[in-house]
Structure 1
């Protein structure tokens, strides 16, 4: 009888132990986490005495029959369903959950884990592609045939057909659905089927496996995805392949001697918050005549021998124009404290190098606020006219889109 499935929800920076706490890891599960951590470590969590402590990453880690959902937390609220919904909607906003299939706009699973969402989105995409009809591609094959069609491989023909004179060993070009794209998608279906614990998805997975055309097995390599060029015919496959890549390359079978499999889909909350703020602002600003760029590089130092160093602010509004504004996002709760000196120094440099009118640090928070502060003069102990604002932007967690409350910020600051 299969072991019961179990889901644990924790917040970033929290710990899970094997010997204490309301929710505990089994010895096998802890060993799987330790083996996956290895000697080089992983960014998602750290090892502590008889347990693990999660870092500034949110998402899901599945170890055997245990699913651990790591949720973000930027204020005092401990409402886990609300933060789970917030994380999902943040991922949707930045395009992690891009979808083609019309049915995917209203997902059928209502109390999803993030892992269930990925599985269902992938299933929806494949159902959509099957309904459209799978594309065919040319591929080269070598095989024994009953007719001489193609180029005869004379060496292998002599080797294999000494007895069977009626056969021809030929090289042929065939046009069918058995190509690398479909092979990878089918491999992903098999992976999901092997680790899925949601009974609502089982029948759909079985139907997909039954209706999927027969394809060859394949080896999954990063080089295939790096070299893949989408055309008009293959563009509808983009989202399905994106999810397939995420699942196939984050699945780690047999991470311990106990044959425990591990799947990790984790997101750096600093990067997610940066993208979330950027995309939310871009939607508002482009209609008002502003320009907005993310990760804008500028050279600022070069050794006599070697490469130059660059500075990369998170967001620049109206770059190289009058009224330039530089914003740097930080995923942390200040709890009424000042920003770190390093962050303030960083914004001081941005203001000078980008000739910015304003610079600000953007934090998540329970309430909207802007706190302006001035830098001291470089040569004497008096305040200058150079300012750096500290801004907290609340996420409307009850909104279906979990939108940042931007209207007041734009009216006050831009």
Structure 2
């Protein structure tokens, strides 16, 4: 084994979004067989996480973790000049926790070690903690129907199969029974996930814990994994504690691609669109921190064009505060660093339409940046080359580098922005009343 491969098997390679990994250049290099696995996984239709370049790959705006064989690659977000990858890993973990990807139900999950070697280890450890909590609380049993040969007559005899199978062994009975045990679809999926993690885990600390977990599912059958089960499953009072474990199981089972290179290498991709993650992060942070008296709505739809034939077209701003009220504010999030430049004209036109259709007092674009700032700007009037009173602000939010968890301070800044909007609106109304009086 080469030194490069040995390093890959122990520690993850960390890159920023839009960076490249190549076979023959760069500090972190791909092995030819690893590149081949990426190429096969990419296929003819492609994947959104990266694109193929000469002797390498270039990552897109997706962040998260990809594991190919022994190689783990963490793709991190980046919104300022800081090259501190540990800082950006903490930032990504914090954002994922904020939006609920790393939800924690089990009390034992408070010991989750954020110093794990990789983000993938966090998923594994959180799943293990959840299963240990469920075992400690007591695994639920369910009724199920079975057909089997038994030494005692308990249940209804299946005469056809009884004659077929027990013509010689007349001491046996082929019966239909209803049993009450742990072997049901929930435990089958959790056990399948435990075995999957054991297959791809390289963290020695977790290996013994995984082995102990397997001992608690000795009689659980194998099962087929179907999307319909996770989509249609209805949680009850008894099954609600399983929610986090099943969500992680769903994530792992449906993002695992075995044998992508003709049986030689498996691939697991847990990747998130950074634009959607940023949007959700801003929304959840505002929802938690905004004071009473504000309503906040994500993805509010409004029709704006009806064709003669076919479906209506709708506009969907990211966040609407105080929808259908006089002090309505529309925010649109963009994961890009302006670096002192003006916003994209297309983004400004988009916000102009939002302002009109939602009758918003103020609209704003929300970007990540190197420092907190709110810059104002006004649109020109439609009929003359004069500046109107319609404003579109540009809000930049920076990483708190002094924070232990490396967080983005959102609520206080936007809170000040909202209150400024309300003060301006009250002042405008006061001046209008004074003018007419």
What band does the TM-score fall into relative to the shorter chain? Answer: over 0.9
Structure 1 contact 362–393 (Cα < 8 Å) conserved: yes
> Within 1, Cα distance between the matches of 2:101 and 2:20?
27
2:23 match = 18
Shift of 1:168: 1.8
Residues 360-399 of structure 1 mapped to structure 2, 5 A cutoff: 360-399=364-403
Length, aligned pairs only: 413
State yes or no: 1:292 paired with 2:302: no
Gaps of 5+ in 2: 420-437
1:72 match = 77
2:37 match = 32
Residues 199-208 or 71-80, more deviating: 199-208
Structure 1 contact 86–397 (Cα < 8 Å) conserved: no
Residues 393-402 or 38-47, more deviating: 393-402
> Within 2, Cα distance between the matches of 1:370 and 1:294?
22
> Within 2, Cα distance between the matches of 1:24 and 1:62?
15
> Within 1, Cα distance between the matches of 2:337 and 2:129?
37
> Within 2, Cα distance between the matches of 1:412 and 1:39?
47
Which of residues 342, 349, 369 is equivalent to 1:345? 349
> Within 2, Cα distance between the matches of 1:310 and 1:168?
64
Runs (4 or more) in structure 1 with deviation over 4 Å come to: none
Aligned-partner SS, 1:211: coil
> Within 1, Cα distance between the matches of 2:249 and 2:376?
46
Shift of 1:341: 1.2
* Alpha-carbon RMSD: 1.5
Aligned-partner SS, 1:230: coil
Structure 2 contact 300–318 (Cα < 8 Å) conserved: yes
> Within 1, Cα distance between the matches of 2:102 and 2:404?
14
Which of residues 146, 151, 156 is equivalent to 1:151? 156
Residues 368-377 or 68-77, more deviating: 368-377
Which of residues 312, 319, 324 is equivalent to 2:323? 319
Structure 1 contact 277–404 (Cα < 8 Å) conserved: no
Structure 1 contact 333–363 (Cα < 8 Å) conserved: yes
* Cα offsets for 1:140-192 (capped at 9, x unmatched): 11111223322222211121111122222121111100001001101111111
Which of residues 43, 51, 55 is equivalent to 2:48? 43
State yes or no: 1:278 paired with 2:286: no
> Within 2, Cα distance between the matches of 1:257 and 1:392?
47
Structure 1 contact 89–400 (Cα < 8 Å) conserved: no
> Within 2, Cα distance between the matches of 1:101 and 1:151?
42
Structure 1 contact 395–405 (Cα < 8 Å) conserved: no
Shift of 1:405: 4.1
Scaled by the length of structure 2, what TM-score is found?
Answer: 0.92
Structure 2 contact 379–390 (Cα < 8 Å) conserved: yes
Residues 276-285 or 114-123, more deviating: 276-285
Shift of 1:109: 5.6
- 1:214–1:399 CA distance, 2 compared to 1 (3 A): farther
Shift of 1:388: 0.6
Aligned-partner SS, 2:304: strand
Which of residues 153, 175, 180 is equivalent to 2:185? 180
Residues 207-216 or 291-300, more deviating: 207-216
Shift of 1:214: 2.0
Shift of 1:397: 4.2
- 1:236–1:10 CA distance, 2 compared to 1 (3 A): same
2:433 match = none
2:147 match = 142
State yes or no: 1:95 paired with 2:95: no
Shift of 1:212: 3.0
Shift of 1:18: 0.8
> Within 2, Cα distance between the matches of 1:91 and 1:196?
21
> Within 1, Cα distance between the matches of 2:410 and 2:391?
23
Shift of 1:258: 5.5
> Within 2, Cα distance between the matches of 1:258 and 1:30?
15
2:267 match = 262
> Within 1, Cα distance between the matches of 2:240 and 2:413?
39
